Amino acid sequence: MNKKIRIAFFDAKDYDIASFDQEKANRNVEISYFETRLTEETVRLAEGYDAVCIFVNDMVNRQMIDTLYDLGIRLIALRCAGYNNVEIEYAFKKVHVVRVPAYSPYAVAEHAMALLLTSIRRIHKAYIRTRDFNFSLSGLTGFDLHGKTVGVIGTGKIGRIFVNICRGFGMNVIAYDKYPMADSDIKYVELDELWRESDIISLHCPLTDESHNLVNADTIAKMKKGVVLVNTSRGALINSEALLDGIKSRQIGAACLDVYDEESSIFFHDFSGHIVEDDTIARLISMPNVIVSSHQGFLTKEALSNIAETTLNNVEEFMATGCCKNEICYKCGKFAECNREQGMKCF
């Protein structure tokens, strides 16, 4: 029997363990689950393993890449689509990085709409009231989505599904993408027009140097007064202090957030019996027109199953061939010497 592939699995939660245990049953892999995130203090837990498996809040900087390389780790398997938490360029020629590019775009797009509907129809407030047998409708007036203009930033798989959901509600959809889809029926506009014309703005783009703090004091000032912001992508797309200022000035009518720029030390943990030291998230949650969920958009049975399957496929494919179709390489598609385009290993 072939030697089992040993995976050090960081930031493990009960739902991760259940889905990966089910998926690994008939595979030649062995997984050790660590509750802790992968950090400079915990990275040596990976010693003796073939690969590490990490999530969105496991930060992999240069020092950690060097340490993983020294420990003999040659593969970082992200069980998510985004990879801004890994220094991809520095990893080149040291550690290979693979990801799950599409686990369930429906899960995230549907969660974005769920947050939006909950916010504008005050469903969360009605739920709390009726639990206390308060059936008053005072203060619960919302507005129709039908006929409103929604601006969608990012038209990848999740963004396009969100566009279709909005069209089902009879909304007018405009969109911005640095790389618009060819032959699409989506109406693309420049960002300034999107800020100006949208009643609702939903973010579905990756976090890059260019998109960092895309929503800031200057762009908020260009938006319609009372605009509703939805972010189920990456927290740092929005400058949180500017968001708070926009809410307090009534420029922003509501915010629906599944992500937060400083979420790594807060999200996925229970602080209900503790004082949260992050004043910004505490102020955001205290606002009556802000809904925060803790990076929950991916959390469906279908998505968890797809994440486990694709992640383990990635690991097995790489260990067998040294290549993986879901590898992230900063050179791929950008340089003439891109090895993958010539059918070779990235390095």
Q: Is 263 a catalytic residue?
A: yes
Which stretches of 162-292 are assigned E, i.e. beta strand? 172-176, 200-203, 227-231, 252-257, 290-292
Continuous segment of H or E residues that includes residue 228: strand 227-231
Task: Tell me how crowded residue 263 is: count the other CB atoms within 10 A of its CB.
Answer: 21
**47, 295, 316, 337: which is the annotated catalytic residue?**
295
Q: Is 234 part of the annotated catalytic residue set? A: yes
Catalytic: 96?
Answer: no
Burial profile 123-140: b = 16 or more Cβ within 10 angstroms, e = fewer: eeebeebeeeeeeeeeee
Q: Which of 23, 110, 263, 327 is catalytic?
A: 263
User: SS in 3 state form for 81-130?
Assistant: CCCCCECHHHHCCCCEEECCCCCCHHHHHHHHHHHHHHHHCCHHHHHHHH
Catalytic residue among 23, 79, 234, 327: 234
Helix or strand holding residue 192 (H, E):
helix 191-197
Distance CA 145, CA 254 (A): 14
Query: Phi then psi for 237, rounded to 5 degrees?
Result: -65, -25
Rounded CA-CA distance 273/296 in Å is 21
Give the residue numbers annotated as catalytic, written as ranges: 234, 263, 295
